[in-house]
A and B are shown apart, each in its own frame.
Chain A
Amino acid sequence: MTESPWEYAPAPESRDIANLKPSYRMFVGGEFTDGGGEPLKSIDPATGEVLAEVASADESDVDTAVRAARSAFDSTWSTMPGTERAKYLFRIARLIQERGRELAVLETLDNGKPIRESRDADIPTAAAHFFHHAGWADKLGHAGYGPDPRPLGVAGQVIPWNFPLLMLAWKIAPALACGNTVVLKPAETTPLSALVFAEICQQAGLPPGVVNILPGAGDIGAALVAHPGVDKVAFTGSTEVGKQIQRTVAGTGKKLTLELGGKAANIVFDDAPLDQAVEGIVNGIFFNQGHVCCAGSRLLVQESVAEELLERLRARIRTLRVGDPLDKNTDVGAINSAEQLARITELADSGDAEGAQRWTSPCPLPERGFFFAPTVFSGVQQSMRIAREEIFGPVLSVLTFRTPAEAIAKANNTPYGLSAGIWSEKGSRILWAAQQLRAGVVWANTFNRFDPTAPFGGYQESGFGREGGRAGLEAYLDV
């Protein structure tokens, strides 16, 4: 890359801003406590170094936390006027903004995502979710679910490692706005920002037990989901685990929402603005290293423009800087864990074995940590694993089509149905395609846009229920 015109001097953000502590404790009943489980070690995926030791929960902690949440639900939170709940949520939103830079650095250290993204996307959007839902807390009677919709009780929430604080906000903000209390289990590899959020709850003066944070592995998530004191289960993660949870919850009367995997088609028609499409494709698959359930992981290009588009796409991908997530110039950060890197490598190898053509960005990779160079497979057939399975990494599979009908048929040829992209200058075609696509979010001439006012969620095996907007309130109300 020495001849590249895109050389930048390093612009590292200081890791001191994260106020990293050697150890973190779980948060139950308004107090930080030691858990009964084996402490976790949270590592920096960019270096492989241990960042901090984190207390983890055992089954008795799950029980304690659910009791704390129930007690808070009964004694204060569900009976509090909505206007008061609203003020707590406003406080939390402001505190996230005030500590935004600290949270961004912490998130990047723990997760491996570029600081540019945690600073400009994750943290501001998390704050926005609390602002949006603060305004709902005292207006629930106007949300269309009857004049006085009631909360469900205790919400058990399990979130993934790809957007640790943002997923927490998506779960906790609507739950609290609707009058529920929560027990949340952050992902095993990314618990730190959730525990700083617990501090924020203390700073906001939130009544003890309204929010409880239990770090732990999958067994703690399973125990939380199965706990008889939990009235509502919300899960974001893999389709496989989602199915297990749906089985566990069956017949219990618990309300369930699932946000699961995806294999989004990003469809480029021959009249698309190609440079704009290239930016959208890059954003669609390389944002957050492709660790995005709605990532545009299948590129469907109309045959007549495929060659030209791929050429421009490769030229653009060459300019992506992969490396130190704390460097403000970094576009693609670290893969979250060694396990995830192994999974991506295995699936990409299956692409080779099944006859697709692999192209890898010639960018240099750091010698330490977990990294995977941006990769594009062309000549992909629908039967190949790389066209069917979620890779959850910076790997794009390219397929072609001839007619709009073929594009839709291929796009919909998956059990998933989370998101899709359309690139065309023709408005009538965009609206037609948006109608035909079986996906919960359709981005036309843009990709990966999120907003607390815009409902998000999937069709089919991408899960059910919506998060955000008026539709998202249903998950947390007894309606």
Chain B
Amino acid sequence: MSDNRTPERLAVAKTYKLYIGGSFPRSESGRVYPVHAADGGFLANAAHASRKDVRDAVAAARKAFAGWSGATAYNRGQVLFRIAEVMEGRRDQFAAEIAAAEGVSTAQANAAVDTAIDRMVWYAGWTDKISMVLGAANPVAGPYFSFSVPEPTGVVGVLAPQESALLGLISVVAPVLAAGNTCVLVASAEKPLPAVTFAEVLATSDVPGGVVNVLTGRAAELGPWLASHADVNALDPTGAPADLRTELARAAADTVKRVLPVRGEPDWTREPDLQRLRAFTEVKTVWHPVGT
């Protein structure tokens, strides 16, 4: 990697690894693939995750689910705010990585980072409001107290958007976390470096290990394992091409997995709605008799 601060000094190049269960392993397969800048220059070798890495990541996400989903909404909200705080501190690093990966100007890269951080703050504020907005006290016709609450769906497999390396990533992962799910995230294949840096943010942001697991590799290779895995409860195929999305949705049917309907990569700069929060929650209705 080039560094133009002090011409005579050789920069310490970073090795980008996976993030599974709170650790940064290399791929079990020992594979890497070269990541290039938008202008074609070499940036780094990214770990090329395998099926075994997917399985390890799912196991880590499952293990972390009880703790994360059982944490109070107040606590989850604070942790998500903390992610935003730590991202703010790494603003320049993210901007540099985005500028290199997406080939945009520094100003545009800064804007993307700012929007990503603001989005994390937006979702952080949702953790303790989802139940109020998506839940209800049901006025049933009878002597019963009936209420409905949204609960996290479980382990969510997320194929992150391919084009928007950080803002897209945050836009898909934040609602999954805010709703109380844990996830296995497959980063953009061509632009994976901001995702690995984001994993370093997670590792230092009070997010319990295993809540988010970041894999770098190919959606086409890793997606089918996530879609067919019996311990994955939901799938966000945003980062898959259209024909692969159909294949993944078919594979997901074997376990009646929830699959987010995706019509292509959205404009991430637009204000989000509740669709992604709703997509990864289950509404549970509880009944109890009322009487003396």
Contact, CB under 8 Å: A258 / B256: yes
Chain A residues with CB below 8 A from B133, complex form: 144
Contact, CB under 8 Å: B140 / A453: yes
Contact of B284 among A247, A442, A449, A469 (CB under 8 A): A442
Contact, CB under 8 Å: B282 / A128: no
Q: Which residue of B lies closest to A479 (CB)?
A: B275
Residues facing B in A241-289 (CB within 8 A) are 242-244, 246-247, 249-251, 253, 255, 258, 260
Contact of A446 among B153, B282, B287 (CB under 8 A): B287
Contact, CB under 8 Å: A457 / B283: yes
Contact, CB under 8 Å: B256 / A260: yes
Shortest beta-carbon distance, B69 to chain A, in Å?
10
- The answer to whether B255 has its CB under 8 Å from any CB of chain A is yes
- The answer to whether B278 has its CB under 8 Å from any CB of chain A is yes
Residues facing B in A204-254 (CB within 8 A) are 239, 242-244, 246-247, 249-251, 253
Majority SS of interface residues in chain B?
mixed
Residues facing B in A450-479 (CB within 8 A) are 451, 453-457, 459-464, 466, 469-471, 474, 479
Contact, CB under 8 Å: A470 / B136: yes
> Once the chains are docked, how many angstroms separate the CA of A146 from the CA of B140?
25
- The answer to whether B29 has its CB under 8 Å from any CB of chain A is no
Contact, CB under 8 Å: A444 / B286: yes
Chain B residues with CB below 8 A from A296, complex form: none
Shortest beta-carbon distance, A152 to chain B, in Å?
11
Contact of A443 among B148, B230, B274, B287 (CB under 8 A): B287
Contact, CB under 8 Å: B148 / A415: no
- The answer to whether B3 has its CB under 8 Å from any CB of chain A is no
Known: A239-B256, A479-B275. A469 touches B261 (CB 8 A): no
Chain A residues with CB below 8 A from B144, complex form: 446, 449
Shortest beta-carbon distance, B215 to chain A, in Å?
24
> Once the chains are docked, how many angstroms separate the CA of A243 from the CA of B259?
13
Known: A440-B284, A479-B275. A451 touches B146 (CB 8 A): yes
Q: Which of A128, A442, A445, A469 has the most CB of B within 10 A?
A: A469
Q: Which of B32-40, B82-90, B107-115, B245-253 contacts A (4 or more CB under 8 A)?
A: B245-253
Residues facing A in B38-73 (CB within 8 A) are none
Q: Which residue of A lies closest to B254 (CB)?
A: A243
- The answer to whether B8 has its CB under 8 Å from any CB of chain A is no
- The answer to whether A104 has its CB under 8 Å from any CB of chain B is no
- The answer to whether A348 has its CB under 8 Å from any CB of chain B is no
Chain A residues with CB below 8 A from B246, complex form: 250-251
Shortest beta-carbon distance, B54 to chain A, in Å?
20
Chain B residues with CB below 8 A from A470, complex form: 136
Chain B residues with CB below 8 A from A335, complex form: none
- The answer to whether A439 has its CB under 8 Å from any CB of chain B is yes
Chain A residues with CB below 8 A from B252, complex form: 246, 250
Contact, CB under 8 Å: A454 / B138: yes
Contact, CB under 8 Å: B138 / A441: no
Known: A258-B256, A456-B285. A469 touches B273 (CB 8 A): no
> Once the chains are docked, how many angstroms separate the CA of A443 from the CA of B259?
28
Q: Which residue of A lies closest to B274 (CB)?
A: A144
> Once the chains are docked, how many angstroms separate the CA of A200 from the CA of B286?
34
Shortest beta-carbon distance, A256 to chain B, in Å?
9
- The answer to whether A434 has its CB under 8 Å from any CB of chain B is yes
Shortest beta-carbon distance, B92 to chain A, in Å?
37
Known: A451-B141, A454-B146, A455-B148. A146 touches B284 (CB 8 A): no
Please name the 10 residue pairs, one residue from A and one from B, whose CB atoms are nearest each other, closest first. Answer: A251-B246, A250-B249, A246-B253, A451-B140, A454-B138, A250-B250, A247-B253, A444-B288, A461-B256, A453-B138
